[in-house]
Chains A and B, each alone.
Chain A
Amino acid sequence: MKGLNIIVLAKQVPDTRNVGKDAMKANGTVNRSALPAIFNPEDLLALEQALRLKDQYPGSTVTVTTMGPIRAANILRDSIFRGADKGILITDKKFAGSDTLATSYVLSLALKKLAPFDIILCGRQAIDGDTAQVGPQVAEKLKIPQITYVEDILEVKNKQIIAKRRLTNGVETLQGNLPILLTVHGSAPTCRTQNARRLMKYKHACTPSEMNNEQEDYIKMHDQKHYLDLVEWNVDDLQAEETYLGLNGSPTKVNAVTNIVFTAKESTVLEPTDQAIDELMAELVEHHNVG
C-alpha cells in the first residue's frame, strides 16, 4: 500500500482545566491572561493516532493544520517535534469571532487545498468550548463520512478503515470508506513526547509572519533551510467568501454571559441551622454551582 495522506486539525486553547482560585480575579471573573495557551488535549491524542498510522504505513505524511492567531504556530512546532511532517497556520483578522460553523467553513477550504487526503483526524472537542461540533461540520462540508469518539484505529486496508469508538455506555467497532474524518476521544492513548533530534533540527521553524520580526541572519538561515518554513494561509489564499467568515458568518450570537462567581476565598463558617443551609443552597443554585 502506498502511504497515507493524513491531516490533523488542532487548536491552541487556554487551559481551562486549571481554573482554580488563583486564576480568578477578585471580582470573580476568569482571568484569561493567567491561563496558559496549550495544545488542546484531545487534538494531541489525534496527533498520536496520526503518528501511529505513519509508523505503520511507511510513506505516509502527517500535516498538522491549525486556525488561530500567529502564536498558534507554537502547536505546529510542537507537532513537528513530536513527529509531524508539516505545519500549516490559517490566520487572518477576518476569522476573529468565528463560531463552529464559520470555523468549519474555513477549515474545509484549507482541506480542499490539501486534497486528495485519506484520513482527517481531530480531537473530539476543545476544552475552551466543549462543543464537539467542528469535526462533524468539516466532514459534512467535504461530503465525507465521519467516525466520532475514536479511541483506537485497528486497520487501514483497501481504501477502508476499521476503528473502535467509545460511547458513554459501550464501544463500537466501525468500518468506513476513505477519505474519512475521525474525532478522537479522551480515552485514546497519550501522545508521544518531543523527539530531541527533531527539536534541534526544527526549533527555528516559523511562519512568514513570525519571520517579519526576525534579524537578517535568521532570515538567511531560512533561505538555506526550507524545511524550517511553516506554511501560512489567509483569506485570499483560501479564496474564502467573506460573508461566511468571523462574526458575520457565525449564526450563533452571544446574548449574555454570566460569570460563575467564587466569592469565598476564606472559609465562611455556617451553623447547621435550617436558615443557614437554605441560604447556602440558594446561593449555589443562583450561581449555577448546582442545577
Chain B
Amino acid sequence: MNNVFIYCETDHGKPAEVSLEIITKGRSLADQIGARVEVIVLGHGLKNIDQELFDYGADIVHIGDHKNLDPYLTLPHASIVAGIFEQEKPRIGLFGATSIGRDLAPRVSSQLKCGLTADCTELVIGDHFDKKQNKQHKDLLLQRRPAFGGNIIATIVTPDTLPQLATVREGVMRKEKYENIRKGKVVKINVDDYVKKEALAVKIIERHIEKKELNLKNSNIVVAGGYGVGSKENFRLLYDLAGILGGEVGASRAAVDAGFEVHDRQIGQTGMTVRPKLYIACGISGQIQHTAGMDKSAMVIAINKDPHAPINKLADYVITGDVAKVIPKMIKYYKEHTK
C-alpha cells in the first residue's frame, strides 16, 4: 500500500538507462513521503538483474520471467502491471516515456481508471489546492510537462485517484546510486496468474532493432555550426553542448563542404528543415541557403565573431565572440547550475 512503483524496461537483460533514472527519482520521492520503492521487471532469462535495481534504491523487486514476456508486447505486460497495481495499491506509478512506456501506461491507467501524465520532465512532491472542492491536498505528485507544442509548461496533479501515474522523459533525470544500498527483497511473479490466453492476441513476426538514429529533425534543441567554427575538432565542442542540453548537432552547407561535418546533419535549402525550440547558431554567417532551414526556430542564439553577420537579424540573442571560447562557458554554467 502507498508505495512508489516503477516499471523497469530491460536492455539486453540489464535495466534500461531510463529506468535507472526513474528509480533514482522514485527513491527520492519515496523518501519524502515515507514510502518504499518497488520495481516491476518483466522479461525472459533475467539473471542477477535485482542487484543493480537495489543499488539505485529499490526495496522490493518483482520479477516476472517467462517466454511470453520477451520481447515486450502490450497485453502480457499490461495484464501483469495492472494486476499488481490492483493488489498492491501504489501511491505513485512511474514508466519511461519510451516506445514501451507510452504504449503500456495508458492501457494500465484505463484499466485502473486513474490519471496519467505523459512525458514528464520534472516530478516533485507538493500540495494542491482545489478551488472547486475548497480542499487542500497534501503531498501529491506534482507532474511537470511541456504542453501545447512545447509552448507552455503545465503542472498536473491527480488528487482523487490512485495510483498517480506518469511517464518520464528519457535523459532528463539523473541516475545515481542510492547512498544506503542494501539487499532488498525479490518477489517472483507467477506470470500465468496474470497472463491469460486473450493476452496473446498479438505476436511478433519479425524484429529489427537499429542503432540509435539521428533525430535532428525532431530535436527540441539544435546546436548548429558553420564555417566559422573553424575545424572538425572544434565541432566536438558543439557535440559537448548538445549532449548536456539534450539536443542534436546540425551544420551549414559551408561547414559540410569544408569537411567539418557529414551531409546527414546539413540544415538549409539543400539539407533538412528544423524548427526546434532553441537554435544555437555557432560561427554561421546566415546565408538564405541556411536560414531557410531554420528560420522557424522559436528562439535563436547566434554566436559569431562578425557583429554584422546576417544571422544576427533573426537571432533573439547575439553573442559577438569566438565560438571556441563562448561554448565552454555555456557548458560550465549549465553543469554547475542544473540537476
Contact = CB atoms under 8 A, between A and B. Distances in A.
Contacts of A257: 147, 152-155
Tell me the dominant secondary structure on chain B's binding face: mixed
Interface string A72-116: 000000000000000000000000000111001000000000000
Given A251-B114, A272-B326, A289 B206 contact: no
A176 interface: yes
Contact of A254 (B78, B154, B313): B154
Q: Give the bracket for the number of chain B residues in contact with chain A.
A: 35 or more
A252 B211 contact: no
B203 to A, nearest CB: 6
Given A174-B203, A177-B202, A264-B317, A128 B148 contact: yes
Nearest to A149: B99
A145 B75 contact: yes
A270 interface: yes
B211 A169 contact: yes
B1 interface: no
B207 A170 contact: yes
B211 A277 contact: no
B151 A252 contact: no
Given A146-B107, A255-B128, A175 B205 contact: yes
B152 A259 contact: yes
A103 B246 CA distance: 33
Interface in B79-117: 98-99, 102-103, 105-107, 109-111, 113-117
A269 B206 CA distance: 54
Interface residues of A, number: 79
A220 interface: no
Contact of B298 (A14, A19, A101): A19
B303 to A, nearest CB: 8
7 contacts: A16-B150, A30-B151, A172-B71, A253-B128, A260-B150, A269-B318, A271-B321
Closest 7 CB pairs of A and B: A16-B149, A272-B321, A251-B115, A264-B316, A170-B209, A140-B110, A133-B106
Interface of B: 71, 74-75, 78, 98-99, 102-103, 105-107, 109-111, 113-119, 121, 128, 130, 142, 146-161, 198, 201-213, 221, 245-246, 275, 277-278, 296, 298-299, 301-302, 307, 312-313, 315-322, 325-326, 329-330, 333-334, 337-338
